[in-house]
């Protein structure tokens, strides 16, 4: 009995997925439950297992192609089974399922396909078996080189068994993306001397580079670097947000002298109790959660003709990772104590840096905090993490001379930047929201109220 | 250089050491006029007499026990155990006495003795005369274990063993006795604890001992035709183990197969793999480290099954191919 493999729905909000790699070629036998392909969704690669045993007769959607969920992507059947009824109508582009669905209404043999599609659409979650949290299979040397190159292994296509990433895969990827070829040479070195031919060959690996590319990396022509799946996802989301939501950014300067003192005291107390410390971001998660509770329209999203007001604040934290940016979400931030926030934040940030976040850990945010203060930035205009309504940018904390009661004195000052979606809220309510955040960061004792 | 057989090389080592040092003597079953089950000691009783080439009763406990006693009082005995399978009978003397004395007497006792013994399958001698028990003795602190693969090393390692002040078990392989190889006529020894790189390669390290060394070298030759460059390491000594040579090789190749005749479960292949993955070589591994070993069964009498029970040349070739399939070499000249 032929089985159609469809793009699985790997999370509640997933609408489309990108095939990143097929682990099997057409004509190869597959076992039910065996990893069949990897799918990129929300910047995470997930292994999808074969839903049935048989022979992978036809791959309908090639690598690096994005299709909506439930789109047929392959057919598994017995070696000699007739699968013509399951194949897309002749002439419809095999990797253009949006079009093929549209054309399917007219195509005479598209009816069988459409029926199966509908029958299977009912229970897509059951079929969506993932490889478990998206941990990347890689050999030790591949891991070490990725570490040294600051490269995200999840982005490297693996050629080994079950998609295992090998040294050759990393070197090819690094050469293709132009990522620190010098680093590859260094990484190739082994304690015993190695033939000098290899590193040089890697340096010349970028196919578009001129043959005259110097080993030192001085290139006379511009280098073309294919973007990684993560970069593509970031590009799409940022473009969509920036050109869909009319952004307005408000800034205000807050006197955080007291917050600095409180943070220092909490940090010490947490460490004394065996914690790993409290960061400013943790405090602002608490502050934002409090302010969002009072300003529900900032904790909302626009959906068609309705604004959906979320009953709880799920706060995302922008985390820089090698080659990109991830936003893990601290769920129900308003109900968590500062230590619980700190613990969650630490776990999520570490998972993000290791590339081990699950899609669900990056989903369902209602508000985002982005912190560039550590990089010496005063103020900036963050882009909203759609479909959320607002994002808070944290600047650096600087001691400045300010006037208090007619006296010049030194205070710790910080600029807060709030970008909001003007479709959902207007300037005044957004300003009131930001003023409350500033107020709470100036007088953190108010958090106790 | 002249070529002689492995058995001749062992005999030369024994004769030279007996001439050099009057404390050296041999004891074992039928090693005198009969020349030993594999003819290794042929002719020695004529030169050295029955006092130094002693036929013993059929008791390995007595043979090894007598050797331990003689060694402790200043002799340098070389005991022959006719088949290494029978080491089990003398194991108490070897494990509980020979290996322990130096330690238990605070260094005041020395046990300079050698146990030579033919090991391995391939002669149709069935399950009780075909085993490879080296791991049993590798596990005992206080014993040294060597397993030469060539006539050159059979002579050099045995001479080093006889001169060592600790008990050394020398596993000779029945199938190797008739193999020929270059052996210098001048005096030499092969240091215990030093491996030899028999063939240099870039892609995969094959770690072998004894009869698996020539098999690995033949496999490497075939692999070279396919463009796979295998490095073959002959461990020679199993304890002490030359971890350094193995680790350096794996750092270079990033792939390793350990080949031995003894069955896999709790065999020394696991020890070698552990040594590799615990070391700096871990960060250079580009594929799982494989153990290629005998099947976990008693050695069958049926010749085909006997052959199938231990790794052959084809198996080594296939294991190396598998590693190369799983992790392609870095292609010279860029990517497709």
- pLDDT (tens digit, 9 = 90+) per residue, A133-184? 457 889 999 998 888 888 888 888 888 888 899 998 888 888 887 765 444 4
**Nearest of B6, B151, B172, B141 to residue B78 by alpha carbon:** B172
Chain A positions with Cβ closer than 8 Å to B? 139-142, 144, 159-161, 164, 166-168, 171-172, 175-176, 188, 190-192, 194-195, 197-198, 201-202, 204-207
Q: Beta strand pairing status for A324-326 and A390-404?
A: unpaired
| Confidence check: pLDDT of A422 > 80 | yes
More confident residue, A203 or A321: A321
- Residue A4, Cβ density class (10 Å: 0-12 exposed, 13-18 middle, ≥19 buried): buried
| Confidence check: pLDDT of A209 > 90 | no
Cβ pairs A/B, distance under 8 A: 76
What values do phi and psi take at A393, rounded to 5?
-105, 130
d(CA A449, CA B162): 86
The answer to whether A422 is a known catalytic residue is yes
Query: Per the CB < 8 Å rule, is A141 touching B280?
Result: no
Q: Which of B284, B287, B330 sits opposite A171 (nearest CB)?
A: B330
d(CA B58, CA B30): 9
Q: Does B1 touch chain A (CB under 8 A)?
A: no
More confident residue, A293 or A189: A293
pLDDT score at B134: 97
Q: Does B329 touch chain A (CB under 8 A)?
A: yes
Q: Which of B327, B330, B332 sits opposite A139 (nearest CB)?
A: B327
**Nearest of B120, B131, B234, B239 to residue B177 by alpha carbon:** B120
pLDDT score at A79: 85
pLDDT score at A160: 86
Fold of A230-448: Chloramphenicol Acetyltransferase (3.30.559)
- A171 → chain B, closest CA residue: B330
Query: Per the CB < 8 Å rule, is A207 touching B335?
Result: yes
Query: Per the CB < 8 Å rule, is A207 touching B329?
Result: no
More confident residue, A228 or A170: A170
Which of A171-180, B93-102, B305-314 shows the lowest mean pLDDT across its residues? A171-180
Record the tokens describing residue A131, joined without a space: 């490889």
Which of A153-162, A431-440, B286-295 shows the lowest mean pLDDT across its residues? A153-162
Beta-bridge partners for A49: A35
| Confidence check: pLDDT of A94 > 70 | no
d(CA B66, CA A15): 82
- Best of A25, A139, A176 to disrupt the B interface (most B CBs within 10 Å) is A139
Residues in contact with B313: Cβ distance below 8 Å, sequence separation at least 6, in sequence order: B215, B218, B219, B222
Record the tokens describing residue B292, joined without a space: 């290629």
The DSSP code sequence of A183-194 is HHHHHH--SS--
Query: Per the CB < 8 Å rule, is A139 touching B333?
Result: no
More confident residue, A191 or B79: B79
Record the tokens describing residue B256, joined without a space: 């390793």
- Best of B243, B245, B284, B325 to disrupt the A interface (most A CBs within 10 Å) is B284
Fold of A140-188: Dihydrolipoamide Transferase (4.10.320)
pLDDT score at B258: 98
- ipTM (interface pTM): 0.77
| Confidence check: pLDDT of B24 > 80 | yes
Which of A40-49, A111-120, A393-402 shows the lowest mean pLDDT across its residues? A111-120
Q: Outline which parts of chain A fall under CATH 3.30.559.10.
A: 230-448
pLDDT score at A134: 54
Task: Please give the C-alpha separations between residue A208 and each of A159, A179, A183, B187, B334, in angstroms, as whole numbers.
Answer: 22, 14, 20, 62, 11
More confident residue, A259 or A116: A259
Query: Per the CB < 8 Å rule, is B327 touching A168?
Result: yes
**Nearest of A63, A54, A62, A73 to residue A124 by alpha carbon:** A73
d(CA A344, CA A336): 10
Q: Outline which parts of chain A fall under CATH 2.40.50.100.
A: 3-127
User: How much is the mean pLDDT over chain A?
Assistant: 81
Q: Note whether B205 and B250 are within 8 A (CB).
A: yes
d(CA B44, CA B49): 8
Nearest 5°: the CA angle A207, A210, A214 is: 105
What is the spatial order of strands in the sheet that B204-208 belongs to?
Answer: B196-199, B230-234, B204-208, B256-263, B290-294
pLDDT score at A231: 87
Give the tens place of pLDDT for each residue, A48-77. 888 888 999 989 998 888 888 888 899 998
pLDDT score at A184: 42
Query: Per the CB < 8 Å rule, is A160 touching B327?
Result: yes
The DSSP code sequence of B63-87 is HHHHHHHHHHTT-EEEEE-SSGGGH
Return the half-sphere exposure (C-beta side, CA atoms, 13 A cut-off) of residue A325: 18
Record the tokens describing residue A39, joined without a space: 């799918």
- Best of B278, B286, B333 to disrupt the A interface (most A CBs within 10 Å) is B286
| Confidence check: pLDDT of B274 > 70 | yes
| Segment B44-55 mean pLDDT | 97
pLDDT score at B330: 56
Residues in contact with B229: Cβ distance below 8 Å, sequence separation at least 6, in sequence order: B201, B202, B203, B204, B223
Q: What is the dihedral of CA A112, A115, A118, A123, to 10 degrees?
A: -90
| Confidence check: pLDDT of B49 > 70 | yes
Q: Is the pTM of this model over 0.90?
A: no
pLDDT score at A121: 41
B196-326 CATH choice from 3.30.1360.70, 1.10.490.10, 3.40.50.920, 3.40.50.300: 3.40.50.920
pLDDT score at B108: 94
d(CA A279, CA B78): 72
| Confidence check: pLDDT of A107 > 70 | no
Which of A96-110, A136-150, B135-149 shows the lowest mean pLDDT across its residues? A96-110
Fold of B3-182: Rossmann fold (3.40.50)
pLDDT score at A390: 97
Which of A145-149, B28-32, B34-38, B179-183 shows the lowest mean pLDDT across its residues? A145-149
Residues in contact with A138: Cβ distance below 8 Å, sequence separation at least 6, in sequence order: A146, A153, A156, A158, A164, A165, A166
pLDDT score at A64: 84
Share of chain B above pLDDT 70, in %: 98
Fold match flag (B3-182 vs B196-326): yes
Query: Per the CB < 8 Å rule, is A167 touching B252?
Result: no
Give the tens place of pLDDT for each residue, B228-257. 999 999 999 999 999 999 999 999 999 999
pLDDT score at B66: 98
- Residue A12, Cβ density class (10 Å: 0-12 exposed, 13-18 middle, ≥19 buried): exposed
Domain boundaries, chain B: 3-182, 196-326
What is the least distance, in Å, from the CA of B289 to any CA of chain A? 11
Query: Per the CB < 8 Å rule, is B330 touching A190?
Result: no
| Confidence check: pLDDT of B40 > 60 | yes
- Best of B202, B205, B249, B334 to disrupt the A interface (most A CBs within 10 Å) is B334
| Confidence check: pLDDT of A214 > 70 | no
| Segment A411-434 mean pLDDT | 96
**Nearest of A131, A110, A149 to residue A10 by alpha carbon:** A131
Residues of B annotated as catalytic are: 129
pLDDT score at A161: 86
Per CB-CB distance under 8 Å, the chain A contacts of B251 are: 190-192
Q: Does B197 touch chain A (CB under 8 A)?
A: no
Place of tokens 């891991």: A143
Query: Per the CB < 8 Å rule, is A168 touching B202?
Result: no
Query: Per the CB < 8 Å rule, is B333 touching A204?
Result: yes
The CATH number of A3-127 is 2.40.50.100
């Amino acid at each position: 009995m032929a089985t159609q493999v469809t793009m699985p729905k790997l999370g509640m909000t997933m609408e489309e997925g990108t095939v990143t790699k097929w682990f099997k070629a057409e004509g190869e036998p597959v076992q039910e439950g065996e990893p069949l392909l990897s799918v990129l969704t929300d910047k995470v690669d997930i292994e999808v297992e074969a839903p049935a045993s048989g022979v992978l007769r036809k791959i309908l959607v090639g690598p690096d192609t994005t299709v909506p969920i439930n789109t047929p992507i392959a057919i598994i059947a017995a070696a000699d089974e007739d699968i013509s009824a399951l194949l897309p109508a002749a002439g419809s582009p095999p990797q253009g399922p949006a079009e093929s669905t549209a054309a399917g209404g007219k195509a005479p043999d598209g009816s069988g396909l459409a029926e199966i599609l509908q029958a299977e659409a009912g229970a897509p979650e059951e079929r969506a078996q993932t490889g478990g949290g998206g941990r990347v299979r890689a050999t030790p040397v591949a891991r070490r080189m990725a570490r040294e190159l600051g490269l995200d292994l999840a982005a490297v296509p693996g050629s080994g068994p079950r998609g295992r990433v090998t040294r050759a895969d990393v070197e090819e990827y690094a050469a293709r993306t132009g990522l620190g070829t010098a680093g590859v040479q260094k990484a190739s070195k082994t304690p015993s001397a190695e033939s000098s031919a290899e590193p040089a060959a890697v340096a010349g690996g970028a196919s578009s580079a001129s043959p005259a590319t110097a080993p030192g990396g001085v290139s006379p022509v511009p280098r073309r670097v294919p973007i990684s799946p993560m970069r593509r996802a970031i590009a799409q989301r940022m473009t969509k947000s920036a050109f869909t939501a009319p952004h307005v950014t408000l800034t205000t300067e807050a006197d955080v002298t007291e917050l600095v003192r409180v943070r220092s005291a909490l940090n010490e107390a947490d460490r004394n109790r065996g914690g790993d410390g409290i960061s400013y971001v943790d405090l602002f998660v608490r502050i934002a959660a409090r302010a969002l509770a009072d300003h529900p329209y900032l904790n909302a999203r626009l959906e068609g003709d309705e604004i959906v007001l979320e009953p709880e604040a799920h706060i995302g934290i922008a985390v820089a990772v090698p080659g990109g940016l991830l936003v893990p979400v601290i769920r129900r931030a308003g109900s968590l104590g500062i230590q619980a926030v700190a613990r969650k934040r630490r776990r999520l940030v570490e998972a993000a840096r290791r590339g081990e976040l699950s899609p669900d850990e990056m989903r369902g945010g209602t508000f985002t905090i982005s912190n560039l203060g550590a990089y010496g930035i005063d103020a900036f205009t963050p882009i909203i993490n759609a479909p959320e309504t607002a994002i808070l940018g944290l600047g650096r904390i600087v001691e400045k001379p300010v006037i208090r009661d007619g006296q010049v004195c030194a205070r710790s000052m910080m600029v807060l930047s709030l970008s909001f979606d003007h479709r959902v809220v207007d300037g005044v309510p957004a300003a009131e929201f930001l003023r409350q955040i500033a107020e709470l960061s100036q007088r953190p004792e108010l958090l106790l109220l | 250089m002249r070529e002689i057989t492995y058995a001749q090389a062992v005999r030369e080592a024994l004769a030279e050491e007996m001439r050099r040092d009057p404390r050296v003597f041999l004891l074992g079953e039928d090693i005198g006029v009969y020349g030993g089950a594999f003819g290794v000691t042929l002719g020695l009783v004529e030169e050295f007499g029955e006092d130094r080439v002693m036929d013993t009763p059929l008791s390995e406990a007595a043979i090894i026990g007598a050797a331990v006693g003689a060694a402790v009082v200043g002799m340098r005995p070389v005991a022959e155990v006719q088949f290494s399978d029978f080491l089990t009978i003398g194991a108490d003397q070897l494990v509980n006495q020979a290996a322990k004395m130096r330690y238990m007497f605070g260094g005041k006792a020395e046990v300079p003795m050698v146990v030579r013994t033919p090991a391995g399958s391939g002669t149709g001698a069935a399950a009780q005369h075909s085993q490879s028990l080296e791991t049993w003795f590798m596990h005992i602190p206080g014993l040294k274990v060597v397993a030469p693969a060539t006539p050159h090393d059979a002579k050099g390692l045995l001479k080093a063993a006889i001169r060592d002040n600790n008990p050394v078990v020398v596993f000779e392989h029945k199938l190797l006795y008739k193999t020929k190889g270059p052996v210098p006529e001048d005096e030499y020894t092969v240091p215990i604890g030093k491996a030899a790189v028999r063939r240099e390669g870039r892609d995969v390290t094959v770690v072998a001992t004894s009869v698996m060394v020539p098999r690995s070298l033949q496999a490497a030759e075939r692999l070279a035709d396919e463009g796979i460059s295998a490095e073959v390491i002959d461990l020679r000594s199993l304890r002490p183990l030359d971890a350094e040579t193995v680790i350096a090789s794996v750092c270079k190749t990033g792939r390793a197969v350990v080949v031995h005749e003894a069955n896999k479960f709790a065999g020394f292949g696991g020890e070698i793999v552990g040594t590799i993955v615990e070391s700096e070589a871990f960060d250079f591994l580009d594929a799982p480290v494989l153990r290629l070993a005998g099947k976990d069964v008693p050695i069958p009498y049926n010749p085909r099954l006997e052959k199938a029970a231990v790794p052959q040349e084809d198996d080594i070739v296939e294991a190396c191919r598998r590693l190369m399939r799983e992790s392609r070499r870095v292609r010279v000249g860029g990517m497709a």
